[in-house]
A and B are shown apart, each in its own frame.
Chain A
């Protein structure tokens, strides 16, 4: 059974870069049929998709965050990462990583089948 675990600083200063890593166990991020995604949830709010990456490095981002987001992966260490630059207090949230299933014959992944436990990142000076 796949497990995902987020890690990274819990406190980031305004205007700096938020960096998180999602370590995957029980599956290879190099395997086909899945995308690897980041989602966030601001305090008391709903879920917001940030973006995802496929094993070949192809990325797709939420248009509202695209100018500040980079998702990358390291297949040798089986993890993928999130960088969000120029953060403000509005970026304070619980950040989740998740696996997204590609249901053939579709070419777009559809459902988020496995989630990490989430990590709270606070943006404050």
Chain B
């Protein structure tokens, strides 16, 4: 099957913009939708992006998603960083009926 590789951690200052990448190891990133989940310590994951770039109701437009076929990767961009954005972020996609999560990225808002 395939893997989704994320950086272990990223850090940025409040008010700035950060981008988290998610690279697919095998098969096209465009072949299946990519989702992004936020998980704060001690809490369940919640969706911040689905279907590559869609935001669920209630998620601020500071969160955006995209895919790039040239690098076979997806990206989550968070602008106007807030301390409350500090969390683990996971990408997820699938290959047929095999669902795969990335290893997660810890976002540190300094």
- A residues lining the B interface (CB < 8 Å): 37, 39, 46-49, 52, 60, 62-63, 96, 100-101, 103, 108, 110-113, 115-118
Contact = CB atoms under 8 A, between A and B. Distances in A.
The listed residue with most B CB atoms (<10 A of its CB), out of A39, A62, A108, is A108
B89 to A, nearest CB: 11
A111 B50 contact: yes
Interface in B64-110: 90, 92, 94, 96-104
Given A47-B45, A108-B96, A63 B1 contact: yes
Contacts of B44: 96, 115-118
B39 to A, nearest CB: 8
A48 B50 contact: no
Given A47-B104, A49-B99, A110-B32, 11 more contacts: A37-B99, A39-B101, A46-B102, A47-B37, A49-B101, A60-B98, A62-B99, A63-B1, A108-B94, A110-B33, A110-B94
If over half of A's interface residues share one DSSP class (helix, strand or loop), that class is named, otherwise mixed; here it is strand
A112 B98 contact: no
B1 A47 contact: no
Interface residues of B, number: 25
B98 A46 contact: no
Given A46-B90, A49-B99, A60-B97, A111 B35 contact: yes
B46 A110 contact: no
Nearest to A96: B44
Given A103-B51, A110-B35, A115 B98 contact: no
B15 interface: no
B33 to A, nearest CB: 5
Contact of B103 (A46, A63, A96, A118): A46
A117 B39 CA distance: 12
B98 A63 contact: yes
Contacts of A101: 50
A63 B100 CA distance: 11
B35 A112 contact: yes
B1 A113 contact: no
Nearest to A4: B44
Interface in B15-33: 32-33
27 contacts: A37-B99, A46-B90, A46-B102, A47-B90, A47-B104, A49-B99, A52-B99, A60-B97, A60-B98, A63-B98, A96-B44, A103-B51, A108-B94, A108-B96, A108-B97, A110-B32, A110-B50, A111-B33, A111-B51, A112-B37, A112-B45, A112-B47, A113-B47, A113-B56, A115-B44, A115-B45, A117-B44
